[in-house]
Chain A
Amino acid sequence: MGNYILYALMALLLAWSYRKDRQKTNQALMKAWKAFENILPEFLGIIILVGLMLAVLDPQVISRLIGQNSGWTGTIFAAVVGSIALMPGIVAFPTAAILLNNGAGYMQIAALISTLMMVGVVTMPVEIKYFGRKVAIARNLLAFFFSFLVAVIIAKGL
C-alpha cells in the first residue's frame, strides 16, 4: 500500500514539475540518477548480505537463540541479532509473530524488532558515507541501548 502512495505522489509531482518547467524536471531526474548511482555499490552489497542472512536466520534458528525463559541473556541475544540482521518489515513482523507463537517472550521480541528497525550494522557503510564514522557509530549505539528500554516497557505492559 505504501508503494502505491509513493508512486502516486511521485507521478503527481513529476507531472506538475513537467508542466511547469521541462528543463528543471530533466535536471531533477538527472540528479536523482546521480544520487542513485553514487550509492548503488553500497546498496548492492547490502542486498546480497541480506539475502545470505535471511537464508541462515530462519525462525527455527532464532527461536533456539531466544526461546522460552531466556531472560536477559535472550534479550541481549535478540538485540544483537536484530542489530546485525536487516529484514524488511514485511519479513520481520510475520517472523516475530511466528517466534512469539513458538514461545519467545515479549521482551526478547521487542528487543529484536526495535533493533531490527533502528540499528543497522549492515547498512553502516551507507550511513558513514553521508554522516561520517562518528555519527554512524554513535547513532547505532544509542539506538541499541534505547531498544532495551523499549523491551523492558513492553515486557511490563504485555
Chain B
Amino acid sequence: MIAVMLVIVFVNHGLAIKAAGITTYTLKEMALVIPPIFILLGLLDLWVPRETMIKYMGEGSGTKGVILAFILGSAAAGPLYGAFPVAGMLMSKGAKFSNILIFIGAWSTTKIPMFLFEMAALGSKFAITRLLIDIPGVIILAYILSAMLGKEEIKRIYSRLL
C-alpha cells in the first residue's frame, strides 16, 4: 500500500494531494463516529446479559428478533465497517445468525439518517422505492445466506468468535 502511494506521489502530484486531503477528511469523520460506536458496544457487552440477548435475538426469538435486528441496524450511524465489530459482539452474546445478517443488511442500506439524506439528494420517489425493495430484500438475503452456509459452517463461525 505504501509502495502504491509513493508511486502515485511521483507520477501524479495533484492526485496524491487530493487523496491525502480526502484521507484526512475521512479520518476526521472516523474520529467522530467510531468512538461512540465502540463505547456503546462495550456498554452493551457488560450490561446486557447473554440470556437477554438470546431471548430477544437468539434462536427462538422469531419475528421479535428480526424486527429488533432491523431497528438496531437502521438506527445506527457510521460506515458499514463499523457494523462488523458490533455484529461480532452480538454473535458472541448468542444472537441468531440470520438476525446478525439482517442487522448488517439494515446497517448497510436502510439507515434512517442516510434515508433522509437520500431523499434530499435523489428525490423521495427514488429513496422510498429503494427502501421498499430493501426491507424485504435484506430479510430474504439473510435467510438465503443462512441456508446456503448450513448449520455446520455457522457453528464454526460462532466457535471462532468465542
What residues make up the interface of A, taking CB atoms closer than 8 Å to B?
A: 1-3, 5-7, 9-10, 13-14, 17, 24-25, 27-33, 35-36, 38-39, 42-43, 45-52, 54-56, 86, 88-90, 93-94, 96-97, 100, 106, 109-110, 113-114, 117-118, 120, 123, 126-127, 129-132, 134-135, 138-139, 142-143, 146, 149-150, 153-154, 157-158
Contact = CB atoms under 8 A, between A and B. Distances in A.
Given A47-B23, A114-B130, A142 B38 contact: no
Interface stretch (B50-58, B64-72, B116-124): B116-124
Contacts of A42: 81
Nearest to B33: A3
B6 interface: no
B117 A90 contact: yes
Interface string B133-162: 110010001001100110001001100110
A28 B47 contact: yes
Contacts of B134: 150
Interface in B1-38: 1, 4-5, 8, 15, 18-27, 29-30, 32-38
Contact of B46 (A24, A38, A113): A24
Point out which of A10, A56, A131, A158 has the most chain B C-beta atoms below 10 A from its C-beta: A131
B121 A94 contact: yes
Interface of B: 1, 4-5, 8, 15, 18-27, 29-30, 32-43, 45-47, 77-81, 84-85, 87-89, 91, 101, 104-105, 108-109, 111-114, 116-118, 120-122, 125-126, 129-130, 133-134, 137, 141, 144-145, 148-149, 153, 156-157, 160-161
A51 B26 contact: yes
Contacts, number: 207
Contact of B144 (A33, A52, A131, A142): A142
Contacts of A150: 130, 133-134, 137
Given A48-B1, A89-B114, A135-B149, A35 B130 contact: no
Contact of B125 (A10, A39, A158): A158
A55 B36 contact: no
